[in-house]
Amino acid sequence: MCGIIGYIGDRSVVPVLLYGLQRLEYRGYDSAGISVLDKDSGRIVVEKKVGKIKDLQEHLWDKKIKGCVGLGHSRWATHGEPTEVNAHPHTSHSGEFAVVHNGIIENFAKLKEELQAKGYQFKSDTDTEVIAHLFEDLYNGDILSTALEVAKRLEGAYAVGVISLKEPDKIIAIKKGSPIVIGLGKGENFLASDIPAVLEYTRDFIILDDGEVAVITKDSVDVYNLNGEKVEKKVLKVDWDTASAEKGGYKHFMQKEIHEQPKTIADTIAGFLSSIDEGLFETLKDTSRLYIIACGTSYHAGLVGKFWIEKFARIPVEVDYASEYRYRDRVIDDKTVVLGISQSGETADTRFALLDAKKEGAKTVALVNVVGSSLARESDYVLYTYCGPEIGVAATKTFTAQLTALLLLSLEAGLRKGSISPQFYQEAHKRLSDIPAKVEKILESEDFIKDLAYKYMNASDFLFLGRNLNYPIALEGALKLKEISYIHAEGYPAGEMKHGPIALIDEKLPVVCIAPRDRFYEKMVSNIQEVKARKGRIITVATDGDSDIKSLSEDTVYIPETEDYLYPILTAIPMQILSYHIASLLGKDVDQPRNLAKTVTVE
């Protein structure tokens, strides 16, 4: 939600801010703005635009803003409509302080009332504007101690960046809840919501923790806790390359990220095996119950993970939406383990649910993609997917990498518990190592799947069916289609269809049936017959060489043969390609679908 960027150094700041905002646009994209300490006028110049970063860029084209210190923001509206006046940065009454903010100030109404009583006039409907006025109101000649005072007054989750005419050689960052990274350069420093925004300039980062305030100059970064005590911070070296934040010849990031999967799956296997933490497996050995909590696509990965962990590690698993888990009366004891899955590692629902479980005595594990993310730092153990930045709002490569990591987790735990044999473990690894090549093979069918997308793109509803391990893939197929094409879609366990959704089927409804040759094949075929009898338009995802199923289907996408338990990693791929091409052919904004944000840092 919302992206923030800041720069202080010798470069002309506007291009740095615009570049960073483009990299952050996936976090929010209903308006954008910048504020710059303008050398010529000696003022803080603020420019904003409703719409995308490119609209802001065009707007700035003939403006001659000269300055080397500034802040930028791309917004995903929470308080106040997406209008120019509500766009960030927001300035204080005198215009001497400019603020960008990601998160929600929960007590803003009370603070606003207090400030209004003192004569401060508000221009916007946002919660953020109170921060700008508070800085002005509390300024005591020292911006650090003012920031500490402001931080103590704010309730909620926030990442804040501040520049000021009072102390123009500093940027202030305050962090509680929402992420902030500080990129370290030579004679220049950067502030951003996440790493890809400034990867072009540096690989060295300081990650702020909750309750920290940073004073950033061009030559120094000092971090303090809320008591004003200096905190020593480690420098994180990031090895992501800049190419991963570029489209590399593809039309959309989503398409590029779909094609990266053979590599990201292979990298996740290698990364997982080279960083095994025996402490985690000791904990898993005598755990009584594992809860998996996540949102959206990560939740679907968790549903597949449940099958594997129960099958191979023989640990009972419950999977919950994090937003539901947080507020239910779950049973936790000292043998409970809670695994939070999150690409970003910043999703508020997942983070806070995991923190609550930790407080109640559970051991916590995070499976994340973003190095140094909040979830990773707040958990007892961390597992990573090795995908580099995922820019497309719809998760693709991180989903199959999450599946890969969960399978590996179940095999490691199973081996140590003795619930699988070393021979089976070896064999499973061998089969898994063949998966990247099999994914590559499926990607070769892209043109064929694109033709199907063209054929079915005008349908107003879709149904996705699968059984057992492929049931979560049906859910994921429906989610992918909904979120980027805005076509209504439902995912269902195929056996459940006859208990209700079968009423939806008519000759107009495309029904995507995931039917590889696994042990549920015959049952899946019966369900397909049921759809056929009601004249549904059947698209099957089937194993290479299965001609029987072709005769039942209007169209069939083939995938290579593999072990039953590995199919979900393969069946996920045609779901992604189909929804990508439907959305792209419909002319939708695939990488930045309406109303969505890549990182959801509000509950």
DSSP 3-state of 544:
coil
Please, what is the minimum distance in Å from the beta carbon of residue 168 to ligand F6R?
36
**How many CA atoms within 13 Å lie on the side-chain side of 238?**
30
For the chain, what percentages of helix, strand and coil (3-state, to nearest 5) are there?
A: 40, 25, 35
| Residue with smaller CB distance to ligand F6R, 379 or 553 | 379
388 near ligand F6R (CB under 6 A): no
10 Å CB burial of residue 594 (0-12, 13-18, 19+) is exposed
Q: Which amino acid is at 438?
A: K
Q: Rule CB under 6 A: which of 482-501 touch ligand F6R?
A: 483
* 146, 297, 485, 576: residue in contact with ligand F6R (rule CB under 6 A): 297
Q: Between helices 143-153 and 129-138, what is the axis angle to 10°?
A: 130
Q: Which is nearer to ligand F6R, 255 or 347 (CB)?
A: 347
Q: How far is the CB of 159 from ligand F6R (least distance, A)?
A: 16
Shortest CB 43 distance to ligand F6R, Å: 39
Per DSSP bridges, beta strands 221-225 and 230-231 are antiparallel
Cβ nearer to ligand F6R, comparing 47 with 483: 483
User: Closer to ligand F6R at the Cβ: 30 or 476?
Assistant: 476
State which residue, 13 or 479, has the beta carbon closest to ligand F6R.
479
Mode of pairing for the β-strands spanning 461-466 and 510-515: parallel
Tokens encoding 34:
């910048």
348 near ligand F6R (CB under 6 A):
no
Place of tokens 């520049």: 163
Closest residue (Cβ) to ligand F6R? 296
Interface region with ligand F6R, contact rule CB under 6 A, candidates 37-45, 146-154, 190-198, 342-350: 342-350
Q: Which of 255, 264, 287, 344 lies at the binding interface for ligand F6R (CB under 6 A)?
A: 344
Task: Please pick, among 48, 112, 256, 598, the residue that the annotation labels catalytic.
Answer: 598
Contact flag: residue 268 with ligand F6R (CB under 6 A): no
Of 216, 238, 295, 432, the one binding ligand F6R by CB under 6 A: 295
- Cα(593)–Cα(574) distance, rounded to whole angstroms? 20
The CB density around residue 114, as the number of other CB atoms within 10 Å, is 16
Task: Locate 450 and state its tokens.
Answer: 């694109």
Q: Residue 564 and residue 268: Cα distance in Å, rounded?
A: 21
Q: How far is CA 277 from the centre of its chain?
A: 25
- End-to-end CA separation in angstroms for the chain: 11
Coil, strand or helix at 321: strand
Our answer to whether residue 2 is catalytic in this structure is: yes
Q: For residue 222, list its beta bridge partners.
A: 215
Tell me the window of 105-113, 291-299, 439-447, 520-528 that interacts with ligand F6R (CB under 6 A).
Answer: 291-299
Residue 343 touches ligand F6R, criterion: CB under 6 A: yes
Candidate segments 42-50, 80-88, 336-344, 547-555, binder of ligand F6R by CB under 6 A? 336-344
Q: Whose Cβ is closer to ligand F6R: residue 295's or residue 432's?
A: 295
Task: For residue 49, list its beta bridge partners.
Answer: 32
Residue of 2, 68, 387, 513 marked active site: 2
CB count, 10 Å around CB of 488? 13
Q: Is 264 in the site for ligand F6R (CB under 6 A)?
A: no
Instruction: Describe the crossing of helices 567-585 and 471-485 by its angle, rounded to 10 degrees.
Output: 20
The answer to whether residue 600 forms part of the interface with ligand F6R (CB under 6 A) is yes
Window contacting ligand F6R (CB under 6 A); options: 163-171, 343-351, 434-442, 521-529? 343-351
How far CA 262 is from CA of 250, 387, 438, in Å, comes to 16, 11, 8
User: Per CB under 6 A, does 304 bind ligand F6R?
Assistant: no
Using CA atoms in the order 348, 354, 356, 358, what is the torsion angle rounded to 10 degrees? -150
Give residues with Cβ within 8 angstroms of 21, minimum separation 6.
3, 5, 32, 34, 53, 56, 72, 73, 74, 197
The window from 78-86, 295-303, 403-411, 502-510 that contacts ligand F6R (CB under 6 A) reads 295-303
Kindly tell me which residue out of 202, 287, 336, 342 binds ligand F6R, with binding defined by CB under 6 A: 342
User: Should residue 347 be labelled a site residue for ligand F6R when binding is judged by CB under 6 A?
Assistant: yes
Which of 86, 336, 350, 364 is close enough to bind ligand F6R by CB under 6 A?
350
396 vs 543, beta carbon nearer ligand F6R: 396
Q: Does 261 bind ligand F6R (CB under 6 A)?
A: no
Q: In angstroms, rounded to a whole number, what is the distance separating the alpha carbons of residues 181 and 345?
A: 13
With CA atoms as reference, report the closest residue to 390 among 375, 402, 408. 402
Q: Residues 298, 468, 470, 540: which binds ligand F6R (CB under 6 A)?
A: 298
> At its nearest, how many Å lie between ligand F6R and the CB of residue 591?
11
468 scored as a contact of ligand F6R (CB under 6 A): no
* Interacting residue ranges for ligand F6R, rule: CB under 6 A: 295-298, 342-344, 347, 350, 394-395, 479, 483, 600
| Catalytically active residues, by annotation | 2, 598
